[in-house]
């Protein structure tokens, strides 16, 4: 069945050409330990010995959102070097942890927004450390690993290390940390750091355009305005800095949501589960009662097969969807459903006032991200 995914146009993970491999290449450049594949084309560019190297991640700014919102002649699209794959699931929790830690998903275990911890018998939203069902803060919560174990803090290079991120981002002590509140502040901080006399490395994360696309959709006027502004500000930033390589990419892309699957209304299938579904809205994960697994798979396919393809978690693990090393497979349950090109969300409880108009995490267009290299004089 996995072979059919590729034949049908789905974008399977590729751990030789992914967002992780950008970090692996930078890690080697900075003299950090690395066991992942590097990108030779990026390695060659880094060998030019720029005074400053800036790794910029714009959340959700994948190939698909760029193609929808920017002309082919736009500054950003003209400078796309190659297309990369996100992690699987293609979601911020998983992808940014792989990017900052230089680890495969199976190594770090931050697979999705919500994770079921067998020892606690609870689903937990791991960013907020709250029970996924009732919102309670989980006092005895424990992390599977730290997603703030930045690979570059172990650098043995000449570069001063800098981390630029929003206020809520936890920063590591081995870097000079900078917070911003607005898009303008984000670019101003990067320019100020690059114009210091000493060589600088910057990892700079921006939560846009992901936030705007979640609220308004990928093809909305609001998303277009944000992405066009990013492109214009990047062009200006390159002119403001000298002897700097800007490595611009995303953690994942996004797609417009075209409907919902209201699984929470399905009492029969929910009664077969050990716990509510978890992981993410286009890649739900299921822990099923032992004597109900065959029946669950059959009924799920009958009811939801058009919008979600059901796989055993072990089949995806064996196929390398989460990488080829690591020990966090116990978090992935019995089955994982993968959203199809119908672009629907899987709802495990009624929607609140905030209804996603754009989302990601599956194997459709949201898996594709650009690698953009911008070089100042």
CATH code, domain with 283: 3.30.1360.180
pLDDT > 90 fraction of the chain, expressed in percent and rounded: 88
- Cα(249)–Cα(372) distance, rounded to whole angstroms? 6
Same domain? For 56 and 153 the reply is yes
Same domain, 222 and 296: no
User: pLDDT class for 181, splitting at 50, 70, 90?
Assistant: very high
Helix intervals (H) in the chain:
2-7, 19-29, 40-46, 63-69, 75-78, 92-101, 105-108, 183-194, 210-216, 221-240, 267-270, 293-304, 313-318
- Structural domains in the chain (count): 2
Same-domain pairing of 73 and 173: yes
Q: Are residues 46 and 172 in the same domain?
A: yes
Flag whether 58 is in a domain. Answer: yes
Are residues 328 and 291 part of one domain? yes
pLDDT in the model for residue 174: 60
Which CATH number do you get for residue 34? 3.40.720.10
pLDDT tens readout for residues 208-261: 999 999 999 999 999 999 999 999 999 999 999 999 999 999 999 999 999 999
pLDDT in tens, 252-264: 999 999 999 999 9
Q: What is the band of 173 on the pLDDT scale with cuts at 50, 70, 90?
A: low
pTM greater than 0.85: yes
- Is 193 part of a structural domain of the chain? yes
3-state secondary structure of 66: helix
Do 177 and 262 lie in one domain? The reply is no
152 and 82 share one domain? yes
Considering the domain boundaries, does residue 4 fall inside one?
no
Which range of residues forms the domain containing residue 130? Answer: 111-144+258-355
Asked if residue 136 belongs to a domain, the reply is: yes
Cα–Cα dist 79/74, whole Å: 9
Residue 306 lies in a domain: yes
């Amino acid at each position: 069945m996995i072979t059919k995914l590729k034949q049908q146009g789905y974008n399977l993970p590729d751990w030789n050409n992914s967002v992780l491999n950008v970090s692996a290449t930078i890690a080697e450049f900075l003299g950090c330990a690395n066991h992942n594949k590097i990108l030779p084309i990026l390695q060659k560019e880094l060998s030019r010995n720029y005074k400053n190297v800036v790794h910029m991640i714009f959340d959700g700014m994948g190939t698909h959102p760029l193609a929808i919102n920017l002309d082919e002649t736009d500054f950003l699209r003209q400078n796309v070097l190659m297309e990369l794959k996100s992690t699987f699931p293609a979601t911020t929790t998983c992808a940014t942890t792989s990017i900052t830690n230089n680890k495969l998903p199976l190594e770090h275990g931050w697979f999705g927004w919500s994770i079921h911890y067998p020892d606690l018998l609870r689903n937990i939203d791991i960013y907020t450390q709250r029970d996924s069902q009732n919102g309670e803060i989980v006092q005895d919560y424990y992390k599977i690993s730290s997603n703030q174990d930045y690979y570059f803090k172990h650098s043995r290079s000449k570069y001063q290390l800098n981390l630029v991120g929003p206020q809520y981002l936890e920063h590591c002590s081995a870097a000079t940390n900078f917070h911003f509140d607005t898009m303008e502040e984000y670019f101003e901080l990067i320019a100020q750091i690059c114009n210091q006399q000493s060589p600088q490395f910057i990892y700079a994360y921006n939560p846009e355009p992901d936030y705007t696309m979640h609220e308004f959709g990928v093809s909305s006027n609001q998303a277009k305005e944000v992405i066009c502004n990013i492109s214009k500000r990047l062009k200006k930033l390159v002119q403001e800095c000298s002897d700097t390589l800007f490595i611009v990419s995303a953690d994942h892309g996004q797609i417009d949501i075209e409907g919902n699957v209201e699984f929470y209304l399905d009492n029969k299938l929910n009664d077969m589960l050990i716990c509510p579904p978890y992981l993410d809205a286009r890649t739900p994960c299921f822990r099923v009662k032992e004597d109900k697994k065959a029946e669950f798979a059959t009924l799920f396919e009958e009811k939801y097969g058009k919008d979600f393809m059901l796989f055993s978690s072990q089949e995806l693990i064996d196929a390398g969807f989460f990488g080829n090393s690591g020990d966090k497979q116990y978090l992935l349950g019995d089955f994982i459903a993968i959203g199809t090109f119908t672009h629907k969300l899987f709802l495990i409880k009624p929607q609140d006032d905030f209804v996603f108009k754009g989302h990601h995490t599956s194997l459709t267009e949201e898996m594709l991200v650009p690698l953009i290299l911008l070089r100042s004089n």
